[in-house]
């Protein structure tokens, strides 16, 4: 039976960063990923991008990863929130709030990185580490306690002994289910259409969030190699409207996209497949069990607003990796895991409820809530203190 200090279940974005961060602390790490990348099974999801806010970038820098991602990234200098409403059946701008990183003394809020590139680079880095191993096309079947260890049964027939199992296996986490950890869940009945688009007007490193009934449409700039003419789009809608959009011809879809984006980027059309993702809200009621900890979407899945999902996951990773150095001989003990839960659960709950509430306000068709949204955005425009506070909260 092979022994590893840490066994990470899930080699997605979160699991791979966690593998590299633990390996950086000279721990012996195994990362188990259900999918096989060798078959070149490109996941549609990977075509989208992930906005890395500065705290996440700084952490990736300390573990020696950021330098590998930087050249593929696009800085996010400014965020424009536009409130819109249909007037005489035409989407019309009601108000616009501009948040500039320089207002809080920063060059940029963070960087936007293509997910597919990121995963590829992170995998290669994990494979190159001497004290890390990546087992692909393998999943966790079961696990049991054996004194100060966890024994993990894997689908390839191997049995592993470890001090700590980390569940980084996404929102349908097997690790969470095997640990009988229940969740708060809410189906928003929204779907997000994600794709990359080419547009006529340069993005100038600005991300736009355009609020309207059904949910926001977000444009996030993609790196300069496309001369500022490409952005990643997340278009949230009620499920039935998304179905209608998917039945449109390419030309009709581009017209609707231009109309919905209030022509801020001029003519605009998709250059990748449209990927439909259900928008779910889920938070685990506990983050730990005996010699088990949850991180990333295994612990929290939020609507894609304000670039919080992966950025919160990086905080999970940073916290548990730092705690592991406080317990060099007793990694995974109750005291260490309890500290992890005490440090992370309040912030996860706080961020999750704020994003959940923002999603309700951003997409509501009820006039009182639309008015509340307008009043809130107006208040932000009139108070530089409130605006700076919101920017700092968003950055975490
Ligand atoms: C449209 C959209 C846009 C987003 N944009 C942003 C953004 O700009 N910024 C941001 O911070 N966040 C963003 N997010 C959120 C972010 O993408 C997610 O939080 C993040 O990708 C989740 O990564 P994860 O590794 O935790 O989970 P997953 O990506 O779900 O990875 C889990 C991995 O575990 C594997 N697995 C599952 N079960 C097992 C098992 N039993 N054994 C072994 N392996 C298993 C899976 O194959 C998978 O590879 C966005 C999300 C969406 C939907």
Does residue 193 sit in the same domain as residue 82?
yes
**Cα of 151 from ligand 1 centre, angstroms:** 25
Does residue 73 sit in the same domain as residue 156?
no
Overall number of domains in the chain: 2
Whether 376 is covered by a domain: the verdict is: yes
Does the Cβ of 313 fall within 6 Å of ligand 1?
yes
Whether 64 is covered by a domain: the verdict is: no
Does residue 226 sit in the same domain as residue 322?
no
**Cα of 273 from ligand 1 centre, angstroms:** 19
Question: pLDDT per position in the chain (396 positions), as tens?
Answer: 999 999 999 999 999 999 999 999 999 999 999 998 765 555 545 578 899 999 999 999 999 999 999 999 999 998 888 887 777 777 777 778 888 888 888 888 999 999 989 999 999 999 999 999 999 999 999 999 999 999 999 999 999 999 999 999 999 999 999 999 999 998 888 899 999 999 999 999 999 989 887 888 999 999 867 688 999 999 999 999 999 999 999 999 999 999 999 999 999 999 999 999 998 889 999 999 999 999 999 999 988 887 778 999 999 999 999 999 999 999 999 999 999 999 999 999 988 887 777 777 766 666 676 666 666 666 666 666 666 666 666 666
Closest CA to 314 of 144, 44, 65: 65
Does the Cβ of 114 fall within 6 Å of ligand 1?
no
Euclidean distance between CA atoms 196 and 115, whole angstroms: 12
Which two tokens mark 60? Answer: 């990736």
Coil, strand or helix at 86: strand
Does residue 196 sit in the same domain as residue 176?
no
Does the Cβ of 44 fall within 6 Å of ligand 1?
no
Q: Which long-range contacts (CB under 8 A, 24 or more apart) does 368-377 make?
A: 370/85, 370/213, 373/83, 373/211, 374/83, 374/94, 374/95, 377/81, 377/83, 377/95, 377/97
Atom of ligand 1 nearest to the CA of 53: 11
Does residue 124 sit in the same domain as residue 22?
yes
Coil, strand or helix at 264: coil
Does the Cβ of 296 fall within 6 Å of ligand 1?
yes
Domain with 161 in it: 2-59+115-185+281-358
Does residue 125 sit in the same domain as residue 252?
no
Residues contacting residue 19 through CB under 8 Å, at least 6 positions apart? 8, 11, 29, 31, 126, 129, 132, 134
Atom of ligand 1 nearest to the CA of 14: 25
CATH number assigned to the domain comprising residue 319: 3.50.50.60
Does residue 215 sit in the same domain as residue 200?
yes
**Cα of 187 from ligand 1 centre, angstroms:** 18
Does residue 46 sit in the same domain as residue 168?
yes
Does residue 77 sit in the same domain as residue 151?
no
CATH number assigned to the domain comprising residue 100: 3.30.9.10
**Cα of 313 from ligand 1 centre, angstroms:** 10
**Cα of 377 from ligand 1 centre, angstroms:** 30
Q: The whole model's pTM is what?
A: 0.91
């Amino acid at each position: 039976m092979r022994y590893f200090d840490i066994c990470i279940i899930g080699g997605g974005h979160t699991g791979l960063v966690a593998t590299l961060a633990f390996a950086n602390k000279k721990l012996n790490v195994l990362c188990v990923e259900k999918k096989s990348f060798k078959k070149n099974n490109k996941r549609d999801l990977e075509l989208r991008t992930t906005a890395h806010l500065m705290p996440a970038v700084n952490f990736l820098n300390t573990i020696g990863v950021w330098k590998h991602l930087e050249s593929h990234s696009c800085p996010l200098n400014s965020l424009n929130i536009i409130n819109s409403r249909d007037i005489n059946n035409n989407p019309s701008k009601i108000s616009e709030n501009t948040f500039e990183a320089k207002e809080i003394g920063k060059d940029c809020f963070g960087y936007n990185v293509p997910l597919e590139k990121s995963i590829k680079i992170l995998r290669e880095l994990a494979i190159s580490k001497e004290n890390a191993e990546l087992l692909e096309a393998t999943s966790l079947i079961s696990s049991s306690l054996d004194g100060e260890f966890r024994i993990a049964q894997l689908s390839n027939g191997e049995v592993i002994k470890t001090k700590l199992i980390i569940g980084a296996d996404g929102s349908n986490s097997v690790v969470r289910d095997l640990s009988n950890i229940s969740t708060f869940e809410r189906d928003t009945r929204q779907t997000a259409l994600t794709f990359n688009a080419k547009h006529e007007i340069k993005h100038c490193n600005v991300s736009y969030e355009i609020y309207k009934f059904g949910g926001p449409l977000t444009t996030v700039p993609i790196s300069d190699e496309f001369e500022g003419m490409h952005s990643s789009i997340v278009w949230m809608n009620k499920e039935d409207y998304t179905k209608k959009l998917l039945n449109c011809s390419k030309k009709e879809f581009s017209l609707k996209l231009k109309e919905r984006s209030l022509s801020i980027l001029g003519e605009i059309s998709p250059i990748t497949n449209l990927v439909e993702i259900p928008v779910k809200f889920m938070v685990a009621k506990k983050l730990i069990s005996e010699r088990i900890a949850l991180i990333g979407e295994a612990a929290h899945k939020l609507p894609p607003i304000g670039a919080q999902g992966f950025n919160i996951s990086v905080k999970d990773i940073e916290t548990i990796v730092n705690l592991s150095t406080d317990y060099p001989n007793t990694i995974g003990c109750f005291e260490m895991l309890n500290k992890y839960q005490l440090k992370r659960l309040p912030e996860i709950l706080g961020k999750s409820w704020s994003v959940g509430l923002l999603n309700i306000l951003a997409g509501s068709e009820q006039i009182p809530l639309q008015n509340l949204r307008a009043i809130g955005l107006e208040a932000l425009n009139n108070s530089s203190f409130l605006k700076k506070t919101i920017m700092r909260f968003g950055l975490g």
